[in-house]
Structure 1
Amino acid sequence: IETFKPDIIINRFDHRTAGITHGHHTASAILSLEAFEIVKNKPKRMFFNTPWWFYGSPEKFEKADKSSLLAVNANVYFPLLGKSNFEIAALSRSQHRCQGFGTTGTRGDEMEYLELLKGDMPSPENIFEGIDTSWNRIKGGAVIEKITSQIEKNFNFKNPETHIPQLIEAYKLLLLIEDTHWKEIKLNEIKFLIEACAGLYLEAVASSESVTKSDTFSIQIEAINRCNLPITLNSVSFSNKVASEKNVVLKNNSKVLLKIENNSIDTNFEYSNLFWLKEKPTEGMYQVANKNLRILPEEPLQFPVVFSVNVEGVPLTIIKNIVYKKNDPEFGEVYMPFTVLPEVTASILQKVSIFNDNKPKEISVKISSKTSSIKGFLSL
């Protein structure tokens, strides 16, 4: 809550029904209520999104008294995307494959019902009633809203580069904003919009998919500006290395290729791993000491390449993570994360081995070495 500073919190689970669902589900609702009272940036409202499941069946929920609940149509249609909300949600939920969560999208009105837990009940027409969600909530934001509103109202879909000067103006005004929370969010969003409107493509590709701490590798830089406005690539750097070419003018649709050679990984750098697997877990619980990582799906920007560009006379710093890519005969261009590995790695070839008795079984292990002079023993 302190990180995202939400105006409204909606709990998916009921804090009063311990024992009828998974413990961490109920715990999330209980902690949400407790956190609401102690955080500095207190949200304005908290709801419980009560589905039919808590009533026993859809039929029972249909007959239940919902007069005290706020009804929200959650399956609106987005014309620009050509999809309804539940179609998008189904695509998302269907990525949760390890528990068989594949879901078919639906279209048409779908009402969700919210029970107010904290704060004041808004009108049925506007869940954000009484909450200023405009730029006016930020000191100095009103003048920025005038610019962004004009862009939104008159957006040129055929030639979006026409809005870059306005976006640059908004960017300069954002630099003066005192609210660090919204300043960081909106600066990144506007930089993304400038990249998109300019067709600015910046990429850093490693020469190999993985390296050890004793390896050196090169980084292939691609930069292309696909608009008619002047953009200069002042410099590109990784760690303490800088591409030799500087102040390169990116002409319209003219690709620029640079290289950063002889890069190495610091000996103190941790081997690549999912951040929740780096520390020893307890039974049923991963340990992550860094609180800032706990809320993230993955560790961000482990190998940042810094692109310093100049757009309309304004310097912008754009950061891209190093990637590795190759062409697959079946799938075409395939991206993979760039990783730092030990000099020797081991992987069990069988995905699943069932030991249904007390007898030993043979399993196959693949050993991969990044060097030819390694000797050792394997034990399980």
Structure 2
Amino acid sequence: MRIVLFVILLLCGLKGKSQERWALSAGEIRHRLEGLQVFGSVLYIAAHPDDENTRLLTWLSKEKHLRTGYLSLTRGEGGQNLIGSEQGAMLGMIRTQELLAARRIDGAEQFFTRAVDFGYSKNPEETLRMWNKDSVLADMVWVIRNFKPDVIICRFPTSGEGGHGHHTASAILAEQAWSAAADPKRFPQQLRYTEPWQAKRLFWNTFQFGNVNTTSAEQLKINIGAYYPLLGESTGEIAARSRSMHKSQGFGTAAQRGEMIEFFKQLKGETVQGDLFEGLDMNWSRVGAPVDFRSKVAELINTFDDKAPEKSIAAIAELYQWLGALPLKDAEVRYWVAVRQKEIRALLLACAGWYAECLADAYSLTPGQEFTVRLQCIQRRDAGLRLIKLRFHDTDSLVAQHLETNKLYTFTHRMRVPAASALTNPFWLNKPVHQNMYQVPMQALVGKAENDPVWETVAEVELGGIRLNVPVQVMYKEVDPVKGERNRGVEILPAVSLSFSTPLVLLTGKKASIGLKLSAQQANQRGQVILSGPPGLEVNPRIIPLFLEAKGSTVEVTSELFSGVTKLTGQLRASVVIGNDTLKKSIHRASYDHIPEQLYMTDAAVNVRQFDCFGAGGKIGFINGSGEDTPVNLRQLGFEVEELKPEQLSSEVLAGFRAVITGIRAFNSDENLYKQVPVLLDYVKQGGNLLVQYNTNSRIGPLNGSIGPYPFTISRGRVTDETAKVRILAPQHPALLQPNKISEADFNGWVQERGLYFATDTDTAYTKLLSMNDPGEAALDGSLLVTAYGKGNFVYTGLSFFRQLPAGVPGAYRLFVNLLNLPSGK
């Protein structure tokens, strides 16, 4: 039983939403055949998506033919988003898929722990305390025990040069995991499914990032700048395409060609002189093959016919059969047999020119719904492939047919979604986060990058005298007139979904209205909508009749909210009762061209806040940056917000606004905004208020000019502790007095952080309003600068209003409104 469980876990770890590639060029087939000679693996470890060295992963996978993995401790949900407004869990889903897209290019595999990226951390002590160190370590040990790397490589050191507490923590934990994975006394509950594993060596892949250079002459140096004639690309070209998948982080990268030197410092294991894998047994002898067996594999490669790959099927099938006959008592042999047979299966099908797709007649399905799937398959070479049976979700269909060469075969089947089917949702988001760790229901899910497909049809085929089970994911195909063919996985959705018109309601006058959209994923839905709120909130109407006749139909209802109290914090929840079923899910989607469409379900709820905030109203201009919900939040408060593009800015246009705001990273996001700085400053001089939210000034996001009327520098200074004490430096300044009197109490309840990219080296013309610091650090006074300029006012702030406003933090709203109401001589 333990052997069976191990193989299942290993194969599940390899499987994801991506359809297995069967269509390979002759060069790709030959390249993969060469890889059959190598039995070795390497695991790269860091903290976030985009921390990985894609050049090194490419070289390890393509040049060394090693099974290569990247273990990212988090999914990056605490980072920034340069392509949209998604934050938190949705951003984590986007960045997960960006990693998977990168791995499809560089050839490595992707793993995660359950740790949540809670935002920037200045030291590993805070990180390990916030994460629950033992839980993250257990996940890393689990991945190591199952992936069984010969060598582990860290991106960052334990000494802090990585510049982020998460980075340093990843290195500390990697060193501990290297030893713990081999110790049967550590995390013994895992040994029901796997075995201890001792990696042979641990390295740190040293680096030079900006002014930080951790490389040195005595370190191991390897030139990874290889060119792959069979693939038509070099390491730097493949790695650039891989790296450029991190689009949400703005990491598009130019291709590099020629020599590329990587540096390594050895941390654990037998010392090496010139090679990471020096002296390791990484050939067929690892699974007990006799010496002459290697020559058989070499002969297979040498005799491969690029124009007739089907001629090699018999020899490749012989390898598959030989592996299948091996005794599986040894864990290492079991591991490599499972890995190699999966690779050989793909090669056999590629040599046959096999292709298969299984398409559903709808992408959204509901529990109990009937639907039709159509499976088409073809062998495009004369390979003698025989289709034995098709195993659908609910039945087997015997076919027993030899496929004619280059003839497309079509099979249809009617299926029903089981009534008890779980709704489609990322497995790590089905339960609330606990202590900055995702809660997953079973050990087998730990480490996995994404859900398994909702359904697969299994085609049992006979090829080269052996039988293969070929999983074919059930997909939905659509053709876009511009983008062409687009495939997406099928989804199981509730019969009715609910979506509030806004994620936050601000009761500015003790009353507000809220819209609720109801969408049918199944026809003839009749029932009641029920709204419930916190004590002190009256909802009218609270119960609303519902009838949705057709699938895809929607209806919008509106309720009025009244507050009988002076302050209120809570949630308004919605559900639909249809017969004995209560439905309460909202569907959130993220759609970008470089990744599959993402779906995330939550309970239908909207945050409700009531607090004193004076001075809201009037017309505000907002220049978008890298994505935030500030315009939505200000409209909720009562402002009229017009979103502007840099090319629209002129003295005449700006004159109509009481204040203008630039979004986060606005100057980093659009170089054209620099050209409009004189126009913006003239607007201030004529009596306007300009509020500039944080920008970066770094190698990745440089500032290309001055953005204020007087000099200041944007630093990397930040305060990550959202509870850090805030000291008011200029209590009589109008920004802290009117129309809302600001006190230290207004900084209670902030989320994730105080702020980032504070100003420094400021001209004396600026007034510094606040001072704050993380525990044990020097005070920073550049979070909020204000200066009068002409008749108006210029503000630069690194305070994270973009996080606080969507979270409904009262003090953040009150302070933000004050900054928009600074007195002017207009």
TM over 0.5: yes
Match for residue 247 of structure 2 among 97, 110, 123:
97
Count the aligned residue pairs.
368
After superposition, residues 60-209 of structure 1 pair within 5 angstroms as 65-67=216-218, 69-124=219-274, 126-140=275-289, 145-177=294-326, 178=328, 179-209=333-363
Q: Is the 8 A contact 2:454 2:489 kept in 1?
A: no
Q: Is the 8 A contact 1:223 1:257 kept in 2?
A: yes
Matches of 2:199 and 2:318 in 1, distance apart? 31
Match for residue 29 of structure 1 among 138, 149, 171:
171
Matches of 2:146 and 2:524 in 1, distance apart? 48
Matches of 2:156 and 2:284 in 1, distance apart? 32
Match for residue 254 of structure 1 among 403, 407, 418:
407
Alpha-carbon distance, 1:210 to partner: 1.5
Q: Is the 8 A contact 1:198 1:227 kept in 2?
A: yes
Q: Is the 8 A contact 1:231 1:311 kept in 2?
A: yes
The structure-2 alpha-carbon separation of the partners of 1:256 and 1:52, relative to structure 1 and needing over 3 Å to count, comes to same
Match for residue 15 of structure 1 among 147, 151, 158:
158
The structure-2 alpha-carbon separation of the partners of 1:268 and 1:51, relative to structure 1 and needing over 3 Å to count, comes to same
Matches of 2:201 and 2:366 in 1, distance apart? 50
The structure-2 alpha-carbon separation of the partners of 1:146 and 1:100, relative to structure 1 and needing over 3 Å to count, comes to same
Q: Is the 8 A contact 2:358 2:374 kept in 1?
A: yes
Q: Is the 8 A contact 1:242 1:260 kept in 2?
A: no
Q: What TM-score, normalized by structure 1, do the two folds share?
A: 0.88
Larger Rg: 2
Q: Is the 8 A contact 2:203 2:266 kept in 1?
A: yes
Alpha-carbon distance, 1:364 to partner: 6.2
Alpha-carbon distance, 1:27 to partner: 1.9
Matches of 1:142 and 1:27 in 2, distance apart? 44
| Residue 367 (structure 1) aligned with residue 367 (structure 2) | no
1:37 alignment partner AA? S
Matches of 1:78 and 1:362 in 2, distance apart? 62
Q: Name the counterpart of 2:425.
A: 273
Matches of 1:211 and 1:172 in 2, distance apart? 40
2:433 alignment partner AA? P
The structure-2 alpha-carbon separation of the partners of 1:66 and 1:256, relative to structure 1 and needing over 3 Å to count, comes to same
2:496 alignment partner AA? V
Alpha-carbon distance, 1:288 to partner: 2.3
Matches of 2:156 and 2:507 in 1, distance apart? 40
Matches of 1:105 and 1:5 in 2, distance apart? 32
The structure-2 alpha-carbon separation of the partners of 1:348 and 1:227, relative to structure 1 and needing over 3 Å to count, comes to farther
Matches of 2:223 and 2:504 in 1, distance apart? 47
Alpha-carbon distance, 1:315 to partner: 1.5
Q: Name the counterpart of 1:49.
A: 205
SS at match of 1:280: coil
Matches of 1:158 and 1:365 in 2, distance apart? 60
Matches of 1:361 and 1:148 in 2, distance apart? 74
The structure-2 alpha-carbon separation of the partners of 1:253 and 1:98, relative to structure 1 and needing over 3 Å to count, comes to same
Indicate the percent of aligned positions where both proteins have the same amino acid.
31
The structure-2 alpha-carbon separation of the partners of 1:194 and 1:119, relative to structure 1 and needing over 3 Å to count, comes to same
After superposition, residues 215-230 of structure 1 pair within 5 angstroms as 215-230=369-384
The structure-2 alpha-carbon separation of the partners of 1:358 and 1:283, relative to structure 1 and needing over 3 Å to count, comes to farther
The structure-2 alpha-carbon separation of the partners of 1:43 and 1:220, relative to structure 1 and needing over 3 Å to count, comes to same
Q: Is the 8 A contact 2:424 2:491 kept in 1?
A: yes
After superposition, residues 265-304 of structure 1 pair within 5 angstroms as 265-282=417-434, 284-304=436-456
Match for residue 496 of structure 2 among 344, 347, 370:
344
Q: Is the 8 A contact 1:144 1:173 kept in 2?
A: no
Q: Is the 8 A contact 1:9 1:45 kept in 2?
A: yes
1:229 alignment partner AA? A
Matches of 1:330 and 1:45 in 2, distance apart? 50
SS at match of 2:146: coil
Matches of 1:24 and 1:349 in 2, distance apart? 36
1:154 alignment partner AA? T
Q: Is the 8 A contact 1:241 1:260 kept in 2?
A: no
For structure 2, which runs of at least 5 residues remain unmatched after alignment?
1-143, 182-195, 530-573, 575-604, 607-826
Q: Which is further off, 223-232 or 99-108?
A: 99-108
Q: Is the 8 A contact 1:12 1:49 kept in 2?
A: yes
The structure-2 alpha-carbon separation of the partners of 1:214 and 1:140, relative to structure 1 and needing over 3 Å to count, comes to same
SS at match of 2:528: coil
SS at match of 1:223: strand
Alpha-carbon distance, 1:95 to partner: 1.5
Alpha-carbon distance, 1:33 to partner: 0.7
For structure 1, which runs of at least 5 residues remain unmatched after alignment?
none
Q: Is the 8 A contact 2:388 2:460 kept in 1?
A: yes
Q: Is the 8 A contact 2:386 2:463 kept in 1?
A: yes
Alpha-carbon distance, 1:361 to partner: 7.7
Q: Is the 8 A contact 1:301 1:320 kept in 2?
A: no
Matches of 2:515 and 2:406 in 1, distance apart? 51
Alpha-carbon distance, 1:298 to partner: 1.4
CA displacement 1:277-322 (0-9 Å, x = unmatched)? 1222136442224333232221224312111111133221111221
Matches of 1:128 and 1:77 in 2, distance apart? 21
The structure-2 alpha-carbon separation of the partners of 1:364 and 1:317, relative to structure 1 and needing over 3 Å to count, comes to same
Alpha-carbon distance, 1:141 to partner: 6.6
Q: Which is further off, 32-41 or 143-152?
A: 143-152
CA displacement 1:105-145 (0-9 Å, x = unmatched)? 22221211100100122232x32111011111112475654
SS at match of 1:247: strand
Matches of 1:288 and 1:24 in 2, distance apart? 22
Alpha-carbon distance, 1:347 to partner: 4.6
Alpha-carbon distance, 1:84 to partner: 2.1
Alpha-carbon distance, 1:65 to partner: 4.0
Match for residue 480 of structure 2 among 328, 334, 344:
328
The structure-2 alpha-carbon separation of the partners of 1:147 and 1:343, relative to structure 1 and needing over 3 Å to count, comes to farther
The structure-2 alpha-carbon separation of the partners of 1:235 and 1:6, relative to structure 1 and needing over 3 Å to count, comes to same
Alpha-carbon distance, 1:358 to partner: 6.2
Q: Is the 8 A contact 1:144 1:174 kept in 2?
A: no
CA displacement 1:69-128 (0-9 Å, x = unmatched)? 10112332222222221222221222122222222222221211100100122232x321
Matches of 1:361 and 1:92 in 2, distance apart? 48
Q: Is the 8 A contact 2:154 2:171 kept in 1?
A: yes
Alpha-carbon distance, 1:229 to partner: 2.5
Match for residue 318 of structure 1 among 464, 467, 470:
470
| Residue 240 (structure 1) aligned with residue 390 (structure 2) | no
Alpha-carbon distance, 1:276 to partner: 1.5
CA displacement 1:7-29 (0-9 Å, x = unmatched)? 111100112228x6333222221
CA displacement 1:165-198 (0-9 Å, x = unmatched)? 1011111111112221111111111110001000
Q: Is the 8 A contact 1:349 1:366 kept in 2?
A: yes
